[in-house]
Structure formats: C-alpha cells, structure tokens
Amino acid sequence: MSKLSIDRVSKVFEKKQGEVVVALDDISLEIEETEFVCFVGPSGCGKTTLLRIIAGLETATSGEVSLMGAPIRGPDPKRGMVFQEYSLFPWRTVKNNITFGLEMRGVPKADQVSAAETYLAMVGLEQFREAYPYELSGGMRQRVAIARALANEPEVLLMDEPFGALDAQTRNAMQRELLEIWEKTQKTILFVTHSVDEAVFLADRIVILSPRPGRICDTIRVDLPRPRERTGPEFADVRRYVLGLMDSCRLSSKI
Amino acid sequence: MDATRTHLLRNRLLPLVSIAAAAIVWQVVAQFIVQNKNLLPSVTDVLGAFLVLLESGRLASDFATSLTHFGIGVGAALLIGIPLGMAMGWFRDLDTAANPIIEILRPVPPLAWIPFAIIWFGLTPVAAGFIVFVGAFFPVLVNTYAGFKGVPRLFVEAARVLGCTSPGRLIRHVALPAAMPSIATGIRIGMGVGWMCLVAAEFFVGGRYGLGKQLWVSYSLQQMSNVVVYMLLLGILGLAIDAAFRGYVDGKLLRWRTGEVA
Ligand SMILES: Nc1ncnc2c1ncn2[C@@H]1O[C@H](COP(=O)(O)OP(=O)(O)O)[C@@H](O)[C@H]1O
Ligand SMILES: [Mg+2]
C-alpha cells in the first residue's frame, strides 16, 4: 500500500457570478513512503488547491485522498503544511511558534521545550529562539515554518512554493537544507513549485500539471544521485527534458 | 554623538520651554489685560487655589470618586464590549442579527442617556459609571469586532493544520492575539471618550465628590480659579491614564509588534 493515495480527485469552484472553474480534473497519484514529489505547472493549474485538499483545508468535489488507507476528512496534524505566504504567528516567539502544535495536543511542557530545541537546531536558528517573526528575514521565517510543521511529527509534509518569495541565493541554500532535513527525518514530502530548476534539484519524482482544467500531464522519475550539481550536464539534460514536456503539455491543453 | 545630544536636549527642552512660554503669556494676559479673576484667573491665582485645595485634603477623595466612576464605566464596557465584539466578529449570524441594533444605538450621544441613568440607578456612582460606560462601550465593541473580522485566514488555516481545530481554541489561540492591536486601540479610544463623559456624568448624577462634580460646584460658587484647577487635573489624569495604558500595551501586550498602537 502506498503512503498517500490521491484517487480521481476533482475540484470545481463556483464563482459568484455563477461562473464555474474546474481547478482539478480527475487527479490520481500514489505517493510512496519517504518519497520527495514535486508538482510543477504554470500558475492557476491547481497546485495550491491540490495541496489544500490533501491538507484537509478544502474538500474535493469528487474523488478522495487517503493517508495510509484512511480517507482525509479535515485538517489534521498528521499532514504538516508550509504555506507560500509567511504564516508564522507574529505574536509568538520563534520557539513558541514551533511548539504551537505540541501545545494544542497537550504535550507536556518539558517535551515541548526539547522538541523546540531539536527543530531549532535542525534549521540552524538556535540563537533566534526568543525572537519575534518581524525580526527575521524571509528565509529564516520559512525555516521556522518548516520547524513548526516538523515538530508535530507529521506523516507527510506539504509545501506550497515555500521558497517562492526568496532571492535566488537564499533559495538555493534553503533547498540544500531541506534535502538534509528530509534525509534526517525520512519524511514524505509533497512540494509545489513553478521552478523546474527547483523541482529537478529536489525531487525523486516530478508531476507536471497542466491548467484549465488542472490535470496531470506527465510524471518523471529523477534518478540523478544527490547532492545534485546544478551546473552539471545531466542536470541540464533532465531540466531540458522537463521543460520540453511542459511545453507540449501547454500545447496539448490549448487544443 | 554631538548631534544626538543636541537632539535629545531639544526634545526634552522644547516642550518645557513652550509650556513656560504659554504660562507667561497666560499670566501677562490675565494680570495686565483682562484684570478680572472671574473672566480669566491668572497662573498664580490657579496655583494659589491649587495649594489651598491640596491643604484642605479633599482632592484625594475627588480623585478616588472620579476613578471609581471611570472604573465602573470602563470595566463594564470591557466586560461586555470585548466578548460581544469577539462573538459578532466570529459568528456571522450573530453579526447580522446584532448589527442593526448597534448601528441605531451607536450615534446616540452618551449624555442623552443621563435621564435613564438617573431613573435606573438613582443618584449613585453607578449612574455616573453608566454614562462613562455608554461612551466607552461602542469604541471597544466596534474595534474588537473589526479586529476579529480582520484576522488573516492564513493564520486560522495554519493553526488548523497544526491541530487547533475547535472554534473556542481558534478564538483563544489565534483570533484573540491577532485582534489584540485592534482591541487595544478600541480600549484606548473608549477610555478617552469615557473620560470626556465623566464631567457631565458627575454634574448630573454624581454625589458630593469627584473632579467633575467639584468643577461644577466651583463654577456655581464663581470660584473660577478652582474651575481651572479641576480642568487641569482632569486633563493631566486623563493623560496619565492613557500613557499608563499605552506603556502597558506596548511593553507587555504587543511587544511582538513594531511601531505603536493607534
Ligand atoms: N476559493 C476559490 N474560489 C474560486 N476559485 C478558486 C479558489 N481557489 C482557487 N480558485 C481557482 O482555481 C484555479 C487553481 O488555483 P490554484 O490552486 O491557486 O492554482 P496554483 O496554485 O497552481 O497557481 C485558479 O483558476 C483559481 O482562480
Ligand atoms: Mg499556488
């Protein structure tokens, strides 16, 4: 049995004027334990919607997502989410942001503190434990958001363009750190991006979505050994291949 | 370094200089131009009156009484306004149901409630407190409501994904802290309006003591220097209450926020 099973999921939004948007159309996908899957596609192709359905923040119009055989009915700490926007609670310190989920679950204070230290160390922000989010840079905020999601020990980590707002250098550093964290924690990660470069650097498997209606156009397994060399010829080959697929997806969806 | 020192000196010194200048102008106008204590008492008249009042020992009771009226009114405004504003901001049906009533009552000037304050509560501190309450209530309610309406959806969703799912916990752990800047603003405005209502409230419904009461009594006895003393005390005490609240909010409640409240 696969870890996460997306079974014929469709999502239709009705806008106010009665206009109908098919955000997702018949999406099926099986995701394995500890797999790192990237979703790429132009904006508006339903990437966020798919992640929100898996998180339980949105309900599918038809179809079902199940985690280890159990259908998803609503938000649950088993699925951690890192949002595209800065979602840290500004009134809580870094440490108290990280322990939020544990607090909600009634984990004893001492365990909360030790968990906070573990994940602060994992994202390299020990000196900032008492800082408030406004004191942090964008990259640091997303690190804390990752630590906050991981502290809950979720089965799956959902990430919606988490590095989209960062400058290229920070972004590359964050990608390397995320891979280290992934190797350390052995999490299953679903990562949305519109950057092919990011997807090729990170993913075991890349899922290409095409817009209007949002469909899976193709999936590619990336077998390059890690750490991957962005400037290497194999990397460039995979990238070119993915870009080519995306182009033909766009053409075929237009017809 | 020299520049910052001059800067500091200026910021400290200039207010003092301007207050002194205003006092001198006031003294000169009162003493040499108006020359009538009943039309415009001079600085020295007022200081003299203040010293006499201070010696009489009754100022403490006036302070205490006014603060009691104020405390009753503001306390009730917080106790009712904050929970009601939270509930209206969070539950849409309650909002739709309560909004028209609030919109009709809100523009009624607080002092228009004086007749009912007297009929309901008699000539008691509670009656004066009620007028303060009417003044303070709506700013507290409206700002709490706006704060709750404006809670970013992103925070609520982030909390839900982290396991905070029931409305009660979302309100306590997300909406309330997110709305706190707005609530604090409402409390500040409410306290300001409540303080303004105090003088009239004490005139109509107060007992023997109270700064507002004494102001009216002094006026009816044509002791205009005393009137100015009470005016200034009301101003200074109002300022002190606001500064204390602001200090508490910025230092404790909203330390996570850069910039300032309101
Ligand atoms: N709450 C909503 N109401 C109406 N339409 C929506 C809503 N959320 C998303 N959509 C529409 O669904 C489509 C997919 O959106 P989204 O999942 O955000 O795409 P992506 O993340 O790939 O950019 C878009 O056309 C968007 O306008
Ligand atoms: Mg998106």
d(Cα A51, Cα A71) in Å, to the nearest integer? 15
d(Cα A193, Cα A241) in Å, to the nearest integer? 17
CA atoms within 13 A on the CB side of A51: 27
- The pLDDT value recorded for residue B206 is 67
C-alpha separations of B140 from A73, B93, B102, B199, B260 in Å: 38, 20, 12, 21, 18
SS3 A146: helix
ipTM, interface predicted TM-score of the complex? 0.93
d(Cα B34, Cα B228) in Å, to the nearest integer? 16
Residue A87 with chain B: CB contacts under 8 Å: 154-155, 157-158
The amino acid at A102: L
Is A130 in CB contact (< 8 Å) with chain B? Answer: no
CB contact under 8 A, A75 and B161: yes
Is B164 in CB contact (< 8 Å) with chain A? Answer: yes
Look at residues A13, A66, A18, A24 and name the one whose alpha carbon lies nearest to residue A46: A24
B89 within 8 A of B144, measured Cβ to Cβ: yes
DSSP letters of chain B?
-HHHHHHHHHHHHHHHHHHHHHHHHHHHIIIIII--TTT---HHHHHHHHHHHHHHT-HHHHHHHHHHHHHHHHHHHHHHHHHHHHHHHH-HHHHHHHHHHHHHHTTS-GGGGHHHHHHHH-SSHHHHHHHHHHHHHHHHHHHHHHHHHT--HHHHHHHHHTT--SHHHHIIIIIHHHHHHHHHHHHHHHHHHHHHHHHHHHHHH--S--HHHHHHHHHHTT-HHHHHHHHHHHHHHHHHHHHHHHHHIIIIITTT-SS---
A44 Cβ below 6 A of ligand 1: yes
User: Which residues, given as ranges, of chain B have pLDDT below 70?
Assistant: 1-2, 206, 258-262
d(Cα A207, Cα A217) in Å, to the nearest integer? 8
**Ligand index nearest the alpha carbon of residue A209:** 1
- The pLDDT value recorded for residue B260 is 41
- The pLDDT value recorded for residue A1 is 77
Query: What separation in Å is there between the alpha carbon of B117 and the centre of ligand 2?
Result: 57
**What are the tens digits of pLDDT across the range B201-245?**
998 876 788 999 999 999 999 999 999 999 999 999 999 999 999
Interface test with A, best of B155, B156, B161 (most A CBs within 10 A): B161
Dihedral sign from CA coordinates of A133, B88, A74, A53: negative
CA torsion A243→A247→A253→A255, rounded to 10°?
-170
Q: Report the nearest atom of ligand 1 relative to the CA of A194.
A: 22
Whose tokens are 């929100």? That residue is A52
DSSP letters of A60-118?
-SEEEEEETTEEP-S--TTEEEE-SS--S-TTS-HHHHHTHHHHHTT--HHHHHHHHHH
Look at residues A165, A167, A166, A177 and name the one whose alpha carbon lies nearest to residue A201: A177
C-alpha separations of B56 from B49, B51, B52, B60 in Å: 11, 9, 6, 10
- The pLDDT value recorded for residue A208 is 95
B130 within 8 A of B121, measured Cβ to Cβ: yes
- The pLDDT value recorded for residue A251 is 79
- The pLDDT value recorded for residue B2 is 66
**What are the tens digits of pLDDT across the range A124-160?**
999 999 999 999 999 999 999 999 999 999 999 999 9
- The pLDDT value recorded for residue B256 is 83
Q: Take atom 7 of ligand 1 and give the residue whose Cα is closest.
A: A13
Residue B258 with chain A: CB contacts under 8 Å: 134
Buried/exposed code over B127-139 (b: 16+ C-beta within 10 A; e: otherwise): bbbbbbbbbbbbb
CB contact under 8 A, B158 and A81: yes
SS3 A29: strand
A139 within 8 A of A166, measured Cβ to Cβ: yes
CB contact under 8 A, B158 and A56: no
Q: Take atom 18 of ligand 1 and give the residue whose Cα is closest.
A: A48
CB contact under 8 A, B169 and A79: no
The amino acid at B49: A
Q: What is the mean pLDDT of each run of 10 residues along chain A (255 residues)?
A: 91 89 93 95 92 95 93 92 94 96 94 94 93 92 96 95 93 94 94 94 95 90 91 93 90 68
